[in-house]
Amino acid sequence: MSGLLKQNYRLTVKTSNFLFSPYIFLMNRINKIFEYLEDFILSVIAAMTIGAVGFELYDVFQRGTISLADLLLMFIYAEVLGMVAIYFRSHILPVIYPLFIGITALARLIVLQGKDSMPEQLVFEAGSILLLSFAALLLKDVKVNLTHTKKKS
């Protein structure tokens, strides 16, 4: 579950009214289920990424050549694994990682298209990379905290 949902659904209301107690218990249980589900899905993403790296390495060894598109694809895999690893270590997700993945994916798309694409399309793709680069520059210090922290009073 994302940090915003965790903060909204984690109920730490202290009340003496017994009518709210089952509701709070149920919401905390549902929240815990979503946390486990999120961890499971991220584990599956990591396992699938490692599998994709294996398939890509096998394909490179079969061809006997390494192209720039292969290297860029490996960078995308490394960024996905890095993002998952940071989440599991600290439950903090840097917002910049998906931007890096997008920049690398667009660069790979440009390399794969080669000289066959129309010039306007190349300009639009390069503009998209520039826009994502500006966004990465603006958001370089933004991190999403995915754990609930209690406010000190």
pLDDT score recorded for residue 35: 86
Residues forming a β-bridge with 94:
143
pLDDT score recorded for residue 58: 96
Higher pLDDT pick, 91 / 135: 135
**pLDDT tens, residue by residue, 46-95:** 999 999 999 999 999 999 999 988 999 999 999 999 989 988 888 777 78
- CA 84, distance to chain mean position in Å, is 7
Q: Could you say which DSSP state residue 153 is in?
A: -
Q: Could you say which DSSP state residue 65 is in?
A: -
pLDDT at 4 over 70: no
Average pLDDT value for residue range 27-45? 90
pLDDT band at 153; cut points 50, 70, 90: very low
Average pLDDT value for residue range 130-143? 87
Average pLDDT value for residue range 24-53? 91
Please tell me the chain's helix, strand, coil percentages from 3-state DSSP, rounded to the nearest 5.
75, 5, 20
pLDDT score recorded for residue 60: 95
**pLDDT tens, residue by residue, 13-25:** 444 455 567 778 8
